């Protein structure tokens, strides 16, 4: 059966947005004061600039490979599953995007697994974001 030419690969639209990080097109994809929740930080980031800063620090060189394997859209929610390698180890997870009535992203949730990778990502992200975001976002130690 031929493939539907209008079909796209899982995560393709999200990857296109992330690749525009730092541009007006990136900011235009988000609602006012979007929120980023992630398993590698102890609190949310709020605002396009904060979201862009975290995404810039966590994409690219932290992952050796990253492939989106599944995508489901249900109303305002897009659910993405992904697999990859980072720091020479297997990592996987999910990304959930929530859009407002205008179609702009108002919430991003990114969850990593397994736990050792969550902890390693958190420590690396904390190092990369020193002085750029509140240290309280990494309150993982006493």
What pLDDT shows up at residue 8?
Answer: 81
Chain-wide mean pLDDT for the chain? 91
Cα separation, 1 vs 118, whole angstroms: 40
Query: Does residue 14 carry a pLDDT above 90?
Result: yes
60 or 96: which leads in pLDDT? 96
Q: Is residue 60 part of a domain?
A: yes
Q: Locate tokens 């397994």: which residue?
A: 114
Kindly tell me if the per-residue pLDDT of 2 is higher than 60. Answer: no
124 vs 26, 75, 85, 111, CA distance in Å?
A: 24, 34, 15, 16
And the tokens for 121? 């990502």
Kindly report the CATH number assigned to the domain that includes residue 58. Answer: 3.10.450.50
72 lies in some domain:
yes
Predicted confidence (pLDDT) per residue in 66-114, tens digit: 999 999 999 999 999 999 999 999 999 999 999 999 999 999 999 999 9
In a domain, 45, yes or no: yes
pLDDT at 133 over 90: no
H/E/C letters for each residue in 69-92? EEEEEECCEEEEEEEEEECCEEEE
pTM: 0.90
Q: Is the pLDDT of residue 130 over 70?
A: yes
Per-residue confidence (pLDDT) for residue 58, from 0 to 100: 87
- In Å, how far are 10, 45, 81, 91 from 67, measured between CA atoms? 9, 24, 9, 11
Domain membership flag for residue 140: no
For residue 1, pLDDT beyond 70: no
Question: What is the count of structural domains for the chain?
Answer: 1
Residue 40 has pLDDT above 70, yes or no: yes
Using alpha carbons, list the distances in angstroms from residue 128 to 33, 58, 59, 121, 135.
23, 8, 11, 10, 11
Residue 36 lies in a domain: yes
H or E stretch at 98: strand 89-99
Average pLDDT over residues 15-38: 96
Q: Is the pLDDT of residue 134 over 60?
A: yes
Cis peptide before 66 (omega within 30 of 0): no
| Domain membership of residue 31 as a residue range | 12-133
- Asked if the structure places residue 7 within a domain, the reply is no
Closest by CA position to 105, among listed 57, 38, 51, 66: 51
* Residue appearing with tokens 């004061």: 33
Residue 4 lies in a domain: no
| pLDDT tier at 135, thresholds 50, 70, 90 | confident
Q: Is residue 93 in some structural domain?
A: yes
């Amino acid at each position: 059966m031929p493939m539907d030419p209008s079909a796209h690969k899982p995560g393709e639209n999200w990857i296109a947005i992330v690749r525009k990080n730092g541009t007006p097109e990136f900011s235009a994809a988000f609602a006012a004061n979007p929120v980023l929740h992630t398993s590698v930080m102890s609190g949310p980031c709020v605002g396009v600039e904060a979201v862009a800063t975290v995404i810039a620090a966590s994409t690219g060189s932290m992952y050796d490979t990253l492939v989106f394997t599944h995508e489901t859209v249900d109303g305002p929610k897009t659910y993405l599953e992904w697999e990859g390698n980072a720091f020479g180890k297997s990592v996987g997870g999910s990304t959930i995007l929530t859009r407002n009535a205008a179609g702009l992203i108002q919430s991003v949730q990114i969850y990593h697994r397994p736990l050792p990778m969550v902890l390693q990502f958190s420590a690396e992200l904390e190092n990369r974001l020193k002085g750029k975001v509140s240290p309280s976002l990494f309150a993982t130690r006493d």
